[in-house]
Amino acid sequence: MTYTEPVKLGVKRFPPIKHGITYSGKSFENGIPKAEDVLYIGAFVIDKPIEAINMMRFWSNKFMHHVTLAYKPPQEVIDLLFNGVDTVSNSKDSILIGTELVAKVYRVIHDNLACVALVDIDVPCRNTYPHITIGTAETVKPVYSNDLIHLHFNNNKEIFCANMSFDVDVRIGIMLK
């Protein structure tokens, strides 16, 4: 079942994602969006690997969508992403909007509410533990992943984990509000 299917048994479903992902600055006036228009910078999954697809089938809400790199980023972070020049140090940065790279999954954790892949990614990330939400239970929103990770790293015995290793191809982009 996906979240675009009709409501069944009176259970409220999440609405489909209504925001737009952008991988370039072509659609903006000066080529760079304004901070007030950006929800987050992310590393968006290009193709779901078979390992993730096999895990997703156990969850009512299937995600495997992105790694959040910066939630509601300041303008200087957005400027750097789009033009590659740090205006403070005047140095050139190679990670730009649209860059494709690999996020390396090293562990999968879950409880009865959600499943999360912890990843290593070679770009700056404001999350202490970069991750991709794989899926959640019927009424659980993907933001619960942050709580699950916190519980895991505080040695909660109800959190299951498996050290795994697989690659996820991602592309740097922004999610607009």
Per-residue pLDDT of the chain (177 residues; tens, 9 = 90+): 333 443 333 344 444 545 688 888 777 878 889 999 999 999 999 999 999 999 999 999 999 999 999 999 999 999 888 887 555 555 555 568 999 999 999 999 999 999 999 999 999 999 999 999 999 999 999 999 999 999 999 999 999 999 999 999 999 999 998
Phi, psi of 34 (to 5 degrees): -85, 145
* Per-residue confidence (pLDDT) for residue 3, from 0 to 100: 36
3-state secondary structure of 22: strand
Taking the C-alpha atoms of residue 73 and residue 7, their distance in angstroms, rounded to an integer, is 35
Beta strands in the chain (DSSP E): 21-22, 38-45, 61-62, 66-71, 100-110, 114-120, 131-136, 160-176
Which of 33, 48, 13 has its CA nearest to residue 167? 48
**Residue entry with tokens 């299937």:** 62
CA atoms within 13 A on the CB side of 127: 25
C-alpha dihedral over 62, 67, 71, 76, to 10 degrees?
-150
